[in-house]
Amino acid sequence: MSRPDIILETRALKRRFVTHKPLFGAPIEVRAVDGIDLSIRRGETFAIVGESGCGKSTLARMLVRLIDPSEGAVIYDNKDISKLGQKEMRALRSDLQFIFQDPFSSLNPRMTVGALIEEPLRAHGIGTREERRVRVADLLSRVGLMPQHADRYPHEFSGGQRQRIGIARALAASPKVLIGDEPVSALDVSIQAQVVNLLEDLKEEFGLTLIIIAHDLAVIRHMADRVGVMYLGELVEVGPVDEIFANPRHPYTEALIAAIPVPRVGARAKGHAVEGDPPNPIAPPPGCRFHPRCPYAEARCRQERPRLAPIAEGESVACHRHEELSLNGLVEGAAGRAPAAEKRFNLYRAARATSEGAKPSDNSPPPFPSNKE
């Protein structure tokens, strides 16, 4: 049934968490992910965007079964991985790898960097000890670190470098799909750019499919081929990245785009922020979940829950009024720079290229500072 270009698929995927169990009566549940149908194509970068509490991280974890779904299926390689036993799942884990947001808490502080990167290889019984050592050295240089860093511990590295270690570790088992939960959002802008470039290079080099969870729309605009927008446990819109940004079809997508602070003076229309906070997922509003904040809501939206339905090739939206509404995309002039800035930017790029040519190792961090000696 699944077409050949689909690598990972979810069907009516749901996950509930019990938040409170009263002595009497039914336990109080939060429906973190509430019926997601998603198809990821082989070789694409798919981004899932949404605000805190929308269930995007829970969804990401279910895709690699770090969390078991309550209902529904996750299909990888024609197998429903949510039904697999421990052993079978373990065999598949090398194909599906995860990068965590926080490079500070996702690496075991008591293991050396070499051991951390080697661990997945050992777990999957790949190679001899010597082969693994060579592979670790190779991975370290692939992610812009140095082979001699294998003997150091995570705390000796900066945030950006730790994220590189996390990426090397995820790559160790030669995955087919790499899932990043906010992989760059804890990093400073200049470091973030280095890691974004690294992920894109590695994707190309290893033929990966990339799934990126993010709240930063600029990063998504840059990295993604397709985007899924989540609100309160549901997908409200899916489409190609250019379409999503130029012609959003769901009012929530429009609100998200209108809220991006644009790094050009006077670019964003001020005072058009959508009202209210994201509602409590424990008691989602009836009907369309966005209706209390939606400027276009009508009676029907308060009662009837819209379903995600295809509207064009590769585009789906869950909005009753999507046909009649004409929504605004990114403001004119949000992209691009003033002429003088553009000129400087080109000078900078040229100088970077020259200095990189002169010092080929320039892309990697400088020789590691002697650590508090």
Partner 1 sequence: MPDDAAPLLEVTDLSIRFGKAPTNLVDGVSLTLERGETLCIVGESGCGKSLTALALMGLLPMPPARLMSGRAMFEGRDLLHLPIAELKDIRGDRMAMIFQEPMTSLNPAIKVGEQIAEAVRRHRGASHEEARARALEMLMRVRIPAPEKRLDEYPHQMSGGMRQRAMIAMALANDPALLIADEPTTALDVTVQAQVLDLMRNLQAESNAALIMITHDLGVVAEMADKVAVMYAGRIVEAGPVKAIFDDPQHPYTIGLMSSMPDLGPRGGRLVTIPGVVPPADAMPEGCRFASRCPFAGPDCAEAPPLSDFGGGHRVACWRAPLEQAAEPLQTLGGAR
CA neighbor of 159 nearest in space, from 185, 183, 181, 187: 187
Binding partner 1 by CB under 8 A: which of 150, 168, 238, 330?
330
Three-state secondary structure readout of the chain? CCCCCEEEEEEEEEEEEEEECCCCCCCEEEEEEEEEEEEEECCCEEEEECCCCCCHHHHHHHHCCCCCCCEEEEEECCEEHHHCCHHHHHHHHCCEEEECCCCCCCCCCCCCHHHHHHHHHHHCCCCCHHHHHHHHHHHHHHCCCCHHHHHCCHHHCCHHHHHHHHHHHHHHCCCCEEEEECCCCCCCHHHHHHHHHHHHHHHHHHCCEEEEEECCHHHHHHHCCEEEEEECCEEEEEEEHHHHHHCCCCHHHHHHHHCCCCCCCCCCCCCCCCCCCCCCCCCCCCCCCCHHHCCCCCHHHHHCCCCCEEEECCEEECCCCCCCCCCCCCCCCCCCCCHHHHHHHHHHHHHHHHHHHHCHHHHCCCCCCCCCC
Taking the C-alpha atoms of residue 64 and residue 329, their distance in angstroms, rounded to an integer, is 33
Question: Which one of the spans 105-113, 121-129, 297-305, 341-349 is the region binding partner 1 (CB under 8 A)?
Answer: 341-349
User: Binding to partner 1 by residue 362, rule CB under 8 A?
Assistant: yes
Between 215 and 305, CB nearer to partner 1: 215
Longest Cα pair distance anywhere in the chain, in angstroms?
A: 72
Between 146 and 193, CB nearer to partner 1: 193
Question: Which one of the spans 60-68, 119-127, 239-247, 305-313 is the region binding partner 1 (CB under 8 A)?
Answer: 239-247
Binders of partner 1 in range 274-293 (CB under 8 A): 274-275, 277-278
Binding partner 1 by CB under 8 A: which of 6, 193, 297, 325?
193
# residues near partner 1 by CB under 8 A = 74
Between 41 and 293, CB nearer to partner 1: 293
Between 148 and 363, CB nearer to partner 1: 363
User: Binding to partner 1 by residue 65, rule CB under 8 A?
Assistant: no
Between 177 and 195, CB nearer to partner 1: 195
Binders of partner 1 in range 4-43 (CB under 8 A): none
Binding partner 1 by CB under 8 A: which of 93, 268, 320, 321?
268
Binding partner 1 by CB under 8 A: which of 10, 192, 209, 253?
192
Nearest approach, Cβ of residue 294 and partner 1 (Å)? 12
Residue 343 burial (CB < 10 Å; 0-12/13-18/19+)? exposed
Binding partner 1 by CB under 8 A: which of 273, 282, 309, 312?
273
Question: Which one of the spans 16-24, 25-33, 112-120, 267-275 is the region binding partner 1 (CB under 8 A)?
Answer: 267-275
Nearest approach, Cβ of residue 371 and partner 1 (Å)? 9
Q: How far apart are the first and last CA of the chain?
A: 61
Nearest approach, Cβ of residue 192 and partner 1 (Å)? 7
Nearest approach, Cβ of residue 293 and partner 1 (Å)? 8
Binders of partner 1 in range 195-224 (CB under 8 A): 196-197, 200-201, 215, 217-219, 221-223
Between 125 and 266, CB nearer to partner 1: 266
CB 47 within 8 A of CB 228: yes
Between 137 and 219, CB nearer to partner 1: 219
Binders of partner 1 in range 67-96 (CB under 8 A): none
Between 105 and 197, CB nearer to partner 1: 197
Binders of partner 1 in range 108-167 (CB under 8 A): 158, 160-161
Question: Which one of the spans 79-87, 104-112, 114-122, 363-371 is the region binding partner 1 (CB under 8 A)?
Answer: 363-371
